[in-house]
Structure 1
Amino acid sequence: MNSLDLLKAPEDTRVVVAMSGGVDSSVVAGLLAAEGYEVIGVTLQLYDHGEAVQRAGSCCAGQDIDDARRVADTLGIPYYVLDYERRFREAVIDPFANSYVSGETPVPCIACNQTVKFADLLATAKDLGADALATGHYIASRQDGAHRALYRPVDDSRDQSYFLFATTQEQVDYLRFPLGDLPKSRVREMAEEMGLAIAEKPDSQDICFVPRGRYSDMIAKLRPGAAEPGEIVHLDGRVLGRHEGIINYTVGQRRGIGVATGEPLYVVAVDADKARLIVGPAEALETRRVHLRDVNWLGDGRIEDAAGGQGLPLVARIRSSRPPKPARLFADEQGVYVDLQGETGVAPGQACVFYADDGPRARILGGGFIARGEKSADAEAALKSLSAQTVAAE
């Protein structure tokens, strides 16, 4: 058994490494090459780079391809660039735009992992005769009986499990994540020890295809006319003003709403059909339950057996920047839903990820996308009242 839990000597094991041009994936390639594996580096060209070529803090930019190529030359491994621009637009950019216009808050990095990276690139790796596809994600993977299971990494500050919950069991069995047991500080040291020119390169922070991090600018470009003006309505029914397009707002937002009433107001809901922005006090953001779609279950057995009846106690994360909190998962005739504790600002389109516990190396049990949330009884009643008033007016 080699270090990748494969029944071959390293020199007889071919591994494709997804190289982004950053520190993490470069170190993965260096580690595996040093252990004697037959490493092939692959970078996906995902979008028309344009102004992103020199933009610091992005990922998948034009400079990244040059950086990955230099790393491959330093390590002495074969390296290829695959043109996935059309596929990336179809599978990630267009659905992102459609979701945003419909009033959701999508997470495109999850879609990218689901489709381009862990479906298309994984298939390419198999076509190349690779025994595994390795990436620089901070998540742990270990053998668990006949299959592999995913766990949160050692470095909690780098935990990327929120973005990888949709990885299927078949994909988990083929993928390898060598950085799951390493802190980021050690990874940078290793890059220096390997003599890699990218050792001090900043981490990517923005969504790669969103210039300067402004979602609304990108949506306006992709969907001209999507920024339709509409009313800003308080939960109590008062029309407070007008907005310049729902694509400029997301649930939980406080700044930049554009109305003043003497009380702090937050975006409580986005009514895309009526181009309305519904606002209210902070307490109206509290969410007690979320109903999920496109659920991916990575726990033992069937989700219906694990979460049926009284539900399954676990911890759940509804934003990548928030820690997991105690929750209870249900799977019954209503579908799959999660009862939450102390969560606010939950928006459709976000992910809800399940963990076995709140420990630093907790097992990832899967997750799903939020179709809708249930707020407090008062907030739900107010939203229903607004909807009823609109129907009556029509």
Structure 2
Amino acid sequence: MPIDFQLEAPLSARRIVVAMSGGVDSSVVAALAARTGAETIGVTLQLYDHGAATGRAGSCCAGQDIRDARAVADRLGIAHYVFDYESRFRESVIADFADEYMAGRTPIPCVKCNMGVKFTDLFALARDLGADCLATGHYVRRVMGPQGAELHRALDPARDQSYFLFATTAAQLDYLRFPLGGMPKPQVRALAQDLGLAVALKPDSQDICFVPDGDYAKIVRSVRPDADASGPILHVDGTPLGMHRGLIHYTVGQRKGLDIGGQPSPLYVIRLDPERRAVIVGPKAALAVASASLGDINWLGGDFTGPLTAKVRSMARPVPARLDGNRLVFDTPELGVAPGQAAVLYDGDRVLGGGWIDATQAAVLEGV
């Protein structure tokens, strides 16, 4: 059974804090931690009122997740603490999510949450509890290389979450452990069943935690009431084609829902112009991007200088590219590269780092 804790002193004298969300993955991590013989403490952060987020009254799913985490901790005989971080999460993740959409960008709140509440505030909590490491249920691997801990993709490509953890710093990586990175999900569920954990068959979350119904616009409107302000839909050649119902309803690469019939060929969202409140559309060829300017680059690659691949969306395939300062240059023009998303850089399975896409440089003339 692969366990990535690597504690150097006798385990009975050490302490592990496990981030417990109430799901099957973190529950199995808590069980594996307890099996090492180290003192194990489960910590759950209450981040939001799920019932309020979905508009459903009377049931708080976040509360159910907390109850599930507590039940697992009781089953394992470990301590469990809950900390209220709802206001911090609202300010640093949900408000940022709304502001990014209002600025015509496509946000990734899961990365922002990992950068802040989870991998900064939770780190502080774990250290305050005297833990020697913080273990999570993320599907990535921590591999010791010649220059220290490295972040690698999970062995199961269908579960890999490395794209969402590109902003993990070297110091954080020294403290983190990811015991599930070498396991396929069916094995994790089988372990949960063998351990008699009630969450063994609990469904995986499929959406952003505070947008479980997929209605991003509703969340943005709740934070920024003017988010539905309309504006023009313009062809890349400047031709007005109609009016849109608010920038928050559109993302780069979108084809459906433009409501501009009668066009000779399909049109796609090429970019959003928040200053003019305009949605710029054009043919698929206009989506081609030669390079992207990156901001807030987090580099984990040490002195690596070789060829790399870049992933510009969570579900995209990594493509050959090179990093020239803060400019990511693609070997072949890439489609649908959206400001606000992340570009994550790899050397094979190793995560070299990444940055936020601030702007893109077109590979073809607009209107072609």
Whether the TM-score (by the shorter chain) exceeds 0.5 is yes
Contact 2:4–2:178 at 8 Å: present in 1 too?
Answer: no
Q: Is the 8 A contact 1:46 1:60 kept in 2?
A: no
61-70 vs 140-149, greater mean Cα deviation: 140-149
Which structure 1 residue ranges, 5 or more long, are not aligned? 384-394
Q: Does 1:122 align with 2:123?
A: yes
Stretch deviating more after TM superposition (5-14 or 154-163): 5-14
1:326 to 312, 320, 325: 320
1:286–1:345: 8 Å Cα contact kept in structure 2? yes
Is contact 2:254–2:268 with CA below 8 Å preserved after alignment? yes
The SS at the match of 1:88 is helix
- Cα distance, 1:62 vs. partner? 2.3
The offset of 1:145, in angstroms, is: 3.5
What amino acid is aligned across from residue 259 of structure 1 in structure 2? I
Distance of aligned partners of 1:290 and 1:41 in 2 relative to their CA distance in 1, 3 Å threshold:
same
Q: Deviation of residue 61 (structure 1)?
A: 2.3
Q: Distance in 2 between matches of 1:204 and 1:341?
A: 34
State the percentage of identical aligned residues: 54
The match for 1:30 is 31
The one-letter amino acid paired with 1:153 is A
Kindly indicate whether residue 310 of structure 2 is the aligned counterpart of residue 316 of structure 1.
yes
What SS does structure 2 have at the residue aligned with 1:29? helix
Query: 1:60 touches 1:208 (CA, 8 Å); kept in 2?
Result: no
Q: Which residue of 2 aligns with 1:372?
A: 359
Q: Which runs of 4+ in 1 moved over 4 A?
A: 51-55
Alignment of 1:271-310 (within 5 A): 271-301=273-303, 306=304
Correspondence for 1:179: 180
Q: What is the rounded CA distance, in whole Å, between the counterparts of 1:201 and 1:369 in structure 2?
A: 33
Which amino acid is 1:35 matched to? T
The correspondence of residues 73-112 of structure 1 with structure 2, limited to 5 A, is 73-112=74-113
What does residue range 112-151 of structure 1 map to in structure 2 within 5 Å? Answer: 112-145=113-146, 147-151=148-152
Decide which moves more: 369-378 or 140-149.
140-149
Structure-1 separation of matches of 2:344 and 2:4: 28
Structure 1's 207 and 264: CA in aligned 2 closer, same or farther, altered over 3 A? same
In 2, the alpha carbon distance for the partners of 1:221 and 1:243 equals 20
Q: 2 CA distance for matches of 1:102 and 1:3?
A: 41
Distance 1:53 1:125 in 2: 31
Give me the whole-angstrom Cα distance separating, in 2, the residues matched to 1:95 and 1:317: 23
**What's 1:41 paired with?**
42
> Post-superposition shift, 1:223?
0.1
Instruction: Provide the secondary structure at the position in 2 that maps to 1:226.
Output: helix
- Matched ranges for 1:122-271 at <5 A: 122-145=123-146, 147-260=148-261, 261-271=263-273
Equivalent-residue separation in structure 1 for 2:330 and 2:134 (angstroms):
36
CA 1:32 to 1:211, structure 2 compared with 1: closer, same or farther past 3 Å?
closer
C-alpha deviation, 1:54, in angstroms: 11
Task: Pick one of 300, 321, 343 that aligns with 1:352.
Answer: 343
1:146-181 Cα deviation digits (max 9, x unpaired): 521111111110000000000000000000000011
Q: Distance in 2 between matches of 1:164 and 1:322?
A: 16
Give the 3 Å change call, closer, same or farther, for CA 275–160 of structure 1 in structure 2.
same
Q: CA deviation at 1:3?
A: 5.2
Offset of residue 60 of structure 1: 7.4
Root-mean-square deviation over aligned CA pairs: 1.9
Distance 1:163 1:297 in 2: 14
Residue aligned with 1:15, SS = strand
What displacement does 1:49 show? 2.7
Summarize the Cα distance change of 1:190–1:52 in structure 2 as closer, same or farther, 3 Å threshold.
Answer: farther
Query: CA, structure 1 residues 181+60, in 2 after alignment: closer, same or farther (shift >3 Å)?
Result: farther
Is the Cα contact below 8 Å between 1:18 and 1:135 reproduced in 2? yes
Aligned in 2, Cα 1:60/1:180: closer, same or farther, shift over 3 Å? farther
**CA apart distance, 1:53:** 8.4
What are the Cα deviations for residues 130-155 of structure 1, in whole angstroms up to 9, with x where unaligned?
00000000000022245211111111
CA contact (8 A) 1:230 1:245 kept: yes
Deviations 1:321-361 (A, max 9, x none): 11211111111xxx34333534211110000000002xxxx
TM-score w.r.t. length of structure 2: 0.94
